[in-house]
Amino acid sequence: MELRQILITNPTAEAIVRSLAARKRNSAATELDSIADLPDVARTGSRLEVRRNAIAFLRGLEEMDVGQLVVGRRGKSTRFVWKRPLVDFAVDALRLLDGPDHTPSREVETPPETLRTDPPVSIKHSFALRRDVTVTFELPEDFTPSEAERLTALIKAIPFVRG
């Protein structure tokens, strides 16, 4: 099945593409759970329907050699590993749906161009490391488990010198 047909027949697929096109940065892989939790994607059906449709879409992309669907094992999440920049793919996919200007079609309240200019939403966190030391940091609103693992690895790699 061609991409345009998948996007037209699978409402979750269109919502995924629109949400990915609104991203500012690419990533090498996208977790299924983070896709299913995107607000516009989550509105396309029940959690089970959304996951089922998202997996069908990602399998279709895999067949088109856009990337590889990696099923989670041993505590790792199911994810899609992109062979090309995901934002570029999503914008190209929108052009298939909406034409060269890829203006929003069905059920999209805010055009992707508008979303791209908004500053990322972050949440401030404070952590009492010790009685006299509080660590404060900001994380993106859509902070993922894989990003948490990367941050953990960074903290573990910080050299500690005892004086």
pLDDT in tens, 76-134: 888 999 998 888 888 888 887 776 554 444 333 344 443 444 556 788 888 898 899 89
Quick one: average pLDDT of 65-86? 88
Give the count of domains, the chain.
2
Query: Are residue 19 and residue 37 in the same domain, yes or no?
Result: yes
pLDDT at 64 over 80: yes
pLDDT band at 6 (very low <50, low <70, confident <90, very high): confident
For the whole prediction, is pTM greater than 0.85? no
Q: Is the pLDDT of residue 25 over 60?
A: yes
Residue 163 in domain: no
3-state helix, strand, coil in the chain (%, to 5): 45, 15, 35
Distance CA 15, CA 137 (A): 31
Q: Considering only CA atoms, which of 35, 39, 17 is closest in space to residue 105?
A: 17
Q: Are 29 and 79 in contact (CB under 8 A)?
A: yes
Task: Domain of residue 72: give its range.
Answer: 3-116
- Is the same domain home to 152 and 129? yes
135 and 69 within one domain: no
